Amino acid sequence: MTEKTTTKSEKFAVIKTGGKQYIVREGDLLKVEKLPEESIKDGKVTFSEVLMIAEGENIDLGKPTVSGKTVTADVVEEGRDKKISVVHYKSKSRYFKRNGHRQPFLKVKITKIA
């Protein structure tokens, strides 16, 4: 497995959304859990839960979040993932249920880390 080396001037952030944490850089495409309509304004989303911002040797680490820092993204796509099948089964009791689930998602492109 090859490791990606970081350049000294590369800026990235760690954000938290949908109960998960993501490492993001400007220009990245990111598939996140669907966000409420109130948080999407004019096709843009602002992530305010920024856990860390790093630019070269400068690291801003939040306790738990970095105050005053946000990550802005444009909404690229809104949809639902492929169907996954959910099977419930109990042996020796004739219990068998099968369901399907499609998780809604939001695909965003990171535009600004500030």
Question: What is the reported pLDDT for 62?
Answer: 86
Which pLDDT tens digit goes with each residue over 50-64? 999 998 888 889 889
Domain membership flag for residue 86 = no
Domain membership flag for residue 100 = no
**Structural domain boundaries enclosing 47:** 11-79+105-113
Number of domains in the chain: 1
pTM over 0.85: no
- Check whether 33 has a pLDDT greater than 80: yes
Domain membership flag for residue 39 = yes
Average pLDDT in the 97-114 region? Answer: 95
E strands, the chain, in order: 11-17, 20-25, 29-33, 40-41, 44-47, 50-55, 58-61, 71-80, 84-90, 95-101, 104-113
